[in-house]
Amino acid sequence: MAKNFTKREENYSQWYNDIVQRADLAENSSVRGCMVIKPYGYSIWENMRDVLDKMFKETGHSNAYFPLFIPKSFLSREAEHVEGFAKECAVVTHYRLKADPETHTVVVDPEAKLEEELIVRPTSETIIWDSYKNWIHSYRDLPLLINQWANVVRWEMRTRLFLRTAEFLWQEGHTAHATSQEAIEESERMMNVYADFVENYMAVPVIKGVKSPNERFAGAVETFCIEALMQDGKALQAGTSHFLGQNFAKAFDVKFLDKDNTLQYVWATSWGVSTRLIGALIMAHSDDNGLVLPPKLAPIQVVIVPIYKSPEQLAQISEAAGKIVAELKEKGISVKYDDDDSNRPGWKFNEYEFKGVPVRLVIGPRDLEEGTVEVTRRDTLEKSTMQIAGIAEKVNNLLDAIQKNLFTKALNYRSEMTTKADTWDEFCDILDNKGGFVLAHWDGTTETEVAIKEKTKATIRAIALDSVPEEGKCILTGKPSHKRVIFARSY
RNA sequence: CGGGGUAUAGCGUAGUCCGGCUAUCGCGCCUGCUUUGGGAGCAGGAGGUCGCAGGUUCAAAUCCUGCUACCCCGACCA
C-alpha cells in the first residue's frame, strides 16, 4: 500500500524520520540541530498549545513573556542549576557586524564586544526570578502563577526532529508560594494537568511519579514527571513539574512579609512541556502506513474526497459534499473537501493516510445514486458505507471511538510491556529482548542507579506515585528495598 | 573532542579504482492530451560553478595538496 515507506520492525528510527518527512511535519534547517516546523506540524502544536493554555488558565495561571537573553552572571546564582545547563548554552558575545571590504562578507565587529555576555535561555528560572524579586513583597502578592510560551536553546550534541532539537518551543510555568505545602500542591496539580492532557487529548497513557535524585531537574528539590512508553519499548519523558523549594528565592533574594510580619523566602515551582510531545504523539500511535493522529488534536479531522468522471459529475458531488461539510462544521468538526483536480483519488487516499487524518469520506457516482458515502477510519483502516442522512452524528461518534481506541491500544501495549524483574539476569534479559518498563527493587542510592545505567543504559524513569509498598532486594546490590521503581531505556 | 565516512540538478543517485566524446538514471517540476472507486499513461520540455581553493596534464567529477560542510559510531543529553 505505502510505497518506499520504512516499516517499524525494519528500522524504527528511519520509520520515525520517514513519518516526519512524509506527513510534512518538519525538516532539518540550515542551522545544525534546529528544525523548521512546517505548517501541518505547526498546526498540531497550535492545537496542543490551545488546549494546554486553556487548562493553565482554568487552574489560575496567567501568561507573560520574559527575555530571550539572560545575563551570564544570573546562571551562576544557583549552583546546581548552572552545573546542569552550562555545557549546553549558546552565548552572545557581540552586538554588531560590519562589512569586510576585502572578502565582501560581514564579520563580527571586534569593537562591539558586550560588557557581559548574554546566554540564550536554556530555561527561564533565573531571568524570571530576577523579576519576581521586584514583584513580591507581601503574602498578598502570593501565590504568583505565571506561564510563558517561548522558545529555548540547548546546544545538544545529537538531535532528532521533535524529540531533541537545539532550539525548541515549549511552555514554562513559574510560580511562587507562601508555603512549602502550597508549592508542592502546585507541582502535583500541574503534573496532573499534564497527565490529563497527554491521556485525554494525545491518547497516550502515562505513569505519574517522581524522579530519583539523580534524574532531578538542576536546582529542584523534587521533580514530578509523567512517563510514556513508545512502540519500540523505549520510555519518553513527556512532561515534568518541579518543586524548587526556596533555592531560587534564596539565589535571587525573593522574600515576603507574612501575616505575622516575618520576612520569609518564597517557595517555588516550575513546569514545562515542549514540542517533544509531537514526537511522543507520532511514536505512540503511528503505523507502517504513516502518521495516526488522535481526533482531538488532528488539524484535519475529516477529509472528503470526490470521485468523478466529468465536470458535471464533480459539480453534483461537490453539492452533496458541501452539505456534509456544513453539517460537520456545525458540530465543530474540522473538515477538508479536497476537490483538487491535479491529484487522483488514489494519491489522495495515501496522502491523507500519511498525514494521519482520522476519518476519510469518499463520494462517487455510486454514492450519489444511493445517498451514501464511503467512510474509512485511519486507526484500523476499516471501510464502511453509511447513509448521508445523519452523517454528522455518525462521524462525530466515530471520532470519539477512534480517540478511545487509540488510548486503549496504547494502554494495552504498555501493560504487555511492563514486566517485573526480581533478579539481575532477569532484568538484563527483559531490557535486551523485550524492552518496555521494568519494575524492580532498588536500594535507593545514586551509586547503584548510576551503576545500573552504566551496565544496561537503563535509568529510573519514575518512582510511581501509586506504587504499593513491597519488601524486596535491590536488583543489583541485594540490599533491602521497600518498593519497586520503574526502569527503562529512554529517549 | 576521538574513530569512520560522504559531498555530482529540488531529492535520491551512476560515473571516481584505471583521466578522454554532449555527466547517467529515477523521483519531483513545467506544457499538452487522455485519465480519475487505492500513489495514472503517453508525448514534449526546463533544470548542473560535479562542496571550495590551488596544483599536475594536451585534457580533471576522476589524480595530488589544502580547506569547508555534513552524516554515522562513541563521548554528551537536568
Q: Which domain holds residue A476?
A: 418-488
A276 and A402, same domain (yes or no): no
Given A383, A413, A443, the domain boundary residue is A413
A172 and A36, same domain (yes or no): yes
Cβ neighbours for A256, distance < 8 A, ≥ 6 positions apart: A136, A137, A138, A139, A141, A142, A178, A263, A264, A266
Residue A321 has phi, psi (to 5 degrees) of -65, -40
Query: Angle, nearest 10°, between helix axes A12-22 and A276-285?
Result: 110
CA A456 / C1′ B23 distance in Å? 51
Q: Residue A241's beta-bridge partner residues?
A: A224, A271
- Residue A453: its H or E element: helix A446-456
- Let me know: does A210 contact A225? Beta carbons within 8 Å: yes
CA-nearest of A330, A230, A342, A324 to A286 is A230
Q: What is the radius of gyration, based on Cα positions, of chain A?
A: 26
Domain annotation covers residue A118: no
Domain annotation covers residue A3: no
CA A14 / C1′ B5 distance in Å? 19
Q: How confident is the model at residue A2 (pLDDT cuts 50, 70, 90)?
A: very low
A152 and A178, same domain (yes or no): yes
Domain annotation covers residue A57: yes
Residues 33-92 of A with CB under 7 A from strand B: 84-85, 87-88
Q: What's the number of CA atoms in the CB half-sphere (13 Å) around residue A252? A: 24
Given A413, A447, A475, the domain boundary residue is A413
Domain annotation covers residue A62: yes
A456 and A328, same domain (yes or no): no
CA A30 / C1′ B61 distance in Å? 25
pLDDT for A1: 37
Residue A48 has phi, psi (to 5 degrees) of -60, -45
CATH of residue A481: 3.30.110.30
Q: How confident is the model at residue A3 (pLDDT cuts 50, 70, 90)?
A: low
CA-nearest of A281, A115, A127, A315 to A197 is A281
Residues 15-34 of A with CB under 7 A from strand B: 22, 28, 32
pLDDT for A4: 62
Q: Give how many domains chain A has, as a whole number.
A: 3
- Let me know: does A168 contact A276? Beta carbons within 8 Å: yes
CA dist A489 and A187 (Å) reads 26
CATH of residue A372: 3.40.50.800
Cβ neighbours for A429, distance < 8 A, ≥ 6 positions apart: none
Predicted ipTM beyond 0.95: no
A138 and A275, same domain (yes or no): yes
Instruction: Flag whether pLDDT at A100 surpasses 90.
Output: no
pLDDT in tens, A79-93: 888 888 888 888 898
pLDDT in tens, A246-275: 999 999 999 999 999 999 999 999 999 999
A56 and A189, same domain (yes or no): yes
Domain annotation covers residue A80: no
Domain annotation covers residue A74: no
Domain annotation covers residue A247: yes
- Let me know: does A94 contact A106? Beta carbons within 8 Å: no
CATH of residue A159: 3.30.930.10
Instruction: Flag whether pLDDT at A97 surpasses 90.
Output: no
pLDDT in tens, A214-235: 899 988 999 999 999 999 999 9
Given A246, A262, A285, the domain boundary residue is A285
**Residue listed under C-alpha cell 468523478:** A308
Which DSSP state fits A334? -
A472 and A380, same domain (yes or no): no
Residues 331-360 of A with CB under 7 A from strand B: 341, 344-347, 349-351, 353-354
Grid cell, residue A121, equals 535561555
Instruction: Flag whether pLDDT at A243 surpasses 90.
Output: yes
pLDDT for A262: 96
